[in-house]
Amino acid sequence: MATPMVRRENIRRQVTQRAHVPPHVLIVDDDEGVALTFARILQLQGYDVDTALTADAGLRIAEGSHLDAIILDLRMPLLDGLGFHRHLRSREENLAVPAVVVTGDYFLDDTTVSQLSALGVDVRFKPLWLEDLLSLTRQMLETNQCES
């Protein structure tokens, strides 16, 4: 009689473990040190993290997976953060993915900020400390859950 109870409990535990899928965050930054540092911090908190060192590589990841949040640099070679978001938002399935641009450029012009805002992208400035990164990620995920 005790064996079926144990089996049921094991099945419940396995189903619960499979049901908990960690949030998937994409980090795009041409500075490998920043990308890997941000990724490691989030992975230690239980997030599933992908990194890309170019906007094009980030778009390929976004096209091939479900993302819960995106953190990326603004100033990158070839395709910048604004161009990334224009491409990303052109696909309906990516319209609601919360995103933030993290930049060290303190002299952003109002036009760029307005364009990012129109695409639903928040702007934050480097340096982004550990607690800032975690708080920002939690806020994006909460926003995503509220809109779902």
2-14 pLDDT, tens per residue? 444 445 444 444 4
Query: Residue 90: which CATH number?
Result: 3.40.50.2300
Residue 131 lies in a domain: yes
Which two tokens mark 136? Answer: 């920002």
Length of the chain: 148
Residue 9 lies in a domain: no
Gap between the Cα atoms of 61 and 26, Å rounded: 8
**% pLDDT > 90, the chain:** 53
Q: What is the pLDDT of residues 37-87, one digit of tens each?
A: 999 999 999 999 999 999 999 999 999 889 999 999 999 988 888 899 899
Q: Which residue has the tokens 């708080």?
A: 135
Pair type for strands 121-125 and 69-73 = unpaired
Which phi and psi (to 5°) does residue 104 adopt?
-95, 0
What's the average model confidence in pLDDT over 129-148? 85
In which domain, by residue range, is 100 found? 20-142
Residue 48 lies in a domain: yes
Helices within 45-99 (DSSP H only): 55-63, 81-89
**% pLDDT > 70, the chain:** 84
Question: Above 90 in pLDDT, residue 120?
Answer: no
Domain count, the chain: 1
Residue 10 lies in a domain: no
CB-based contact 113:139 (threshold 8 Å): no
Residue 147 lies in a domain: no
pTM: 0.81
